[in-house]
């Protein structure tokens, strides 16, 4: 199954396109359109309440494997820019830019827009995305031109994504909840996405950040009862052992989440966040589908406390939320300033400081490398006695380092950071 976020400014043709690609299903501040006609199933997630609601955009993105960004021939808007920044901050490498409503424009205008898009996405994760002009107007002389090209490209990208999803099937299970309700005679049913691992009926699993165990009674994917669901699947899960009021969007079914309301987020302020981040700022924080307003308690640059971090600056932002947030070491924390025109200011991880864990690890552990950690031989092991504790420099690439995850099966990631 492949999940695709359909994003863009208001009136950018998102819903017309999504409804052409799938059949309408769940509808809240995001609308899901399902395409069950192929062997591989597709779910298109329309971020329909954006730009009014940032949550609608971050929810669609956090549920997706790839993105379709809709832009009209009228050109780029501030919100198009904001969508590009969000997709870039969240690290989406797979995506397509759809120039919608191409029937209302001309070849030269569209070529000009393509050139502009190439220019503004240069240096972002979107820089190699295909740009496809299309229309969904059944009355146009060239009705639906471009839609099949878009579909073909989506299928190609889905093929590329599939191995990444399968590589996560053996990880501990983790399901993010996006909707939930009480069904008479069945009890609580949650809708969500399996972020990693595989869930099975009759499993007992934790609910975070509530921190209690629940029983998986039943699992459905695409309205069909199944015994198990693996990474990437959209699921409906019947749960025993909880009440509807205990749930919130973004809660996780998992066996090992961390929970906190205070975070040291290591990040680079977006080059497009012109006012940067200031101490005592009130920001909105998005972690997966959880969100809360947070206060900036401290900003650290190169080990010194500062009042402000400007655009492009690397820093550690210490924030405090009003509630507990459940997270895993690889989750990205997205920070936004709701009063700015371009609202996203930074994204980073909160669990980069592993010094505390150092003492607990006494045995070398086998290393399984992420695809990006290509320069180290598979099967190498990592010793906790390495010079910088849990972060160790790779002799083959002295300016990079690898990163140890405490959760089995202990992945290593070769990071792109130049300094630490």
Ligand X SMILES: Nc1nc2c(ncn2[C@@H]2O[C@H](COP(=O)(O)OP(=O)(O)OP(=O)(O)O)[C@@H](O)[C@H]2O)c(=O)[nH]1
Of positions 35, 65, 103, 292, contacts ligand X by CB under 6 A: 103
CA–CA gap between residue 81 and residue 120 (Å, rounded): 9
Of 142 and 353, CB closest to ligand X: 142
Positions in 264-293 near ligand X (CB under 6 A):
none
Distance between CA atoms of 290 and 310, rounded to whole angstroms?
26
Q: Is residue 149 involved in binding ligand X (CB under 6 A)?
A: no
Question: Alpha helices of 207-285 — where are they, by DSSP H?
Answer: none
Using CB under 5 A, pick the residue from 41, 48, 79, 94 that binds Mg ion. 48
31 binds ligand X (CB under 6 A): no
Only one of the segments 119-127, 134-142, 197-205, 209-217 lies at the binding site for ligand X (rule: CB under 6 A); that segment is 134-142
User: Shortest Cβ distance from residue 144 to Mg ion (Å)?
Assistant: 18
Q: Label each residue of 279-299 as H, E or C.
A: CCCEEEEEECCEEEEEEEEEE
- In the list 121, 137, 318, 342, the residue contacting ligand X (rule: CB under 6 A) is 137
At its nearest, how many Å lie between ligand X and the CB of residue 334?
22
Q: Is the dihedral of CA 206, 42, 10, 107 positive or negative?
A: positive
Which is closer to ligand X, CB of 98 or CB of 195? 98
- Give buried/exposed letters for 176-215 (b at 16+ CB in 10 A, else e): bbbbbeeeeeebbbbbbbbbbbbbebebebbbbbbeeebe
Residue 417 · residue 401 · CB < 8 Å: yes
Nearest approach, Cβ of 113 to Mg ion (angstroms)? 21
> Whats the size of the chain, residue-wise?
420
Only segment of 28-36, 97-105, 124-132, 397-405 that touches ligand X (CB under 6 A): 97-105
State which of residues 2, 3, 62, 100 lies at the interface with ligand X (CB under 6 A).
Answer: 100
Answer with the entry of ligand X, Mg ion, none that 135 interacts with (C-beta below 5 to 8 A by kind). Answer: ligand X
Q: Which does 331 bind (CB under 5 to 8 A by kind): ligand X, Mg ion, none?
A: none
What Cα–Cα distance (Å) separates residue 138 from each residue in 27, 107, 134, 288? Answer: 24, 19, 12, 37
């Amino acid at each position: 199954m492949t999940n695709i976020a359909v994003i863009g400014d208001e009136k950018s043709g998102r819903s017309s396109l999504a409804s052409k690609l799938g059949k309408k299903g769940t509808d809240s501040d995001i609308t899901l359109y399902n395409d069950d006609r192929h062997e591989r199933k597709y779910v298109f997630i329309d971020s329909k309440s954006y730009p009014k609601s940032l949550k609608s955009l971050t929810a669609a993105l956090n549920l997706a494997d790839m993105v379709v960004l809709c832009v009209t021939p009228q050109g780029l808007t501030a919100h198009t820019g904001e969508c590009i920044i969000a997709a870039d901050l969240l690290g989406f490498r797979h995506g397509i830019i759809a120039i919608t409503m191409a029937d209302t424009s001309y070849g030269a205008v569209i070529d000009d827009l393509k050139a502009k898009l190439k220019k503004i996405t240069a240096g972002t994760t979107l820089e190699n995305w295909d740009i496809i002009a299309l229309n969904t107007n059944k009355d146009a002389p060239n009705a639906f031109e471009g839609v099949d090209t878009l579909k073909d490209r989506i299928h190609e990208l889905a093929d590329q994504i599939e191995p990444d999803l399968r590589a996560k099937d053996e990880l501990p299970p983790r399901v993010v909840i996006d909707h939930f309700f009480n069904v008479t005679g069945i009890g609580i049913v949650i809708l969500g996405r399996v972020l990693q691992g595989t869930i099975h009926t009759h499993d007992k699993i934790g609910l975070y950040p509530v921190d209690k165990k629940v029983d998986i009674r039943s699992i459905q994917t695409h309205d069909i009862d199944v015994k198990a669901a693996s990474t990437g699947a959209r699921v409906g899960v019947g749960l025993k052992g909880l009440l509807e009021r205990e749930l919130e969007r973004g809660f996780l079914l998992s066996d090992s989440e961390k929970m906190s309301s205070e975070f040291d987020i290591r990040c680079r302020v977006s080059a497009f966040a012109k006012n940067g981040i200031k101490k005592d700022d009130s920001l909105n924080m998005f972690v997966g589908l959880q969100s809360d307003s947070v206060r900036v308690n401290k900003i650290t640059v190169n080990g010194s406390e500062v009042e402000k971090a400007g655009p492009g600056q690397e820093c550690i932002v210490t924030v405090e939320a009003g509630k507990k947030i459940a997270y895993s070491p690889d989750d990205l924390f997205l920070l936004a300033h709701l009063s700015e025109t371009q609202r996203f200011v930074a994204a980073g991880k909160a669990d980069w400081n592993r010094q505390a864990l150092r003492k607990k690890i006494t045995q070398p552990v086998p290393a399984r490398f992420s695809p990006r950690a290509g320069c180290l031989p598979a099967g190498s092991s990592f010793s906790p006695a390495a010079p910088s504790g849990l972060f160790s420099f790779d002799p083959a690439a002295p300016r990079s380092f690898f990163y140890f995850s405490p959760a089995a099966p202990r992945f290593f990631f070769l990071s792109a950071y130049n300094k630490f």
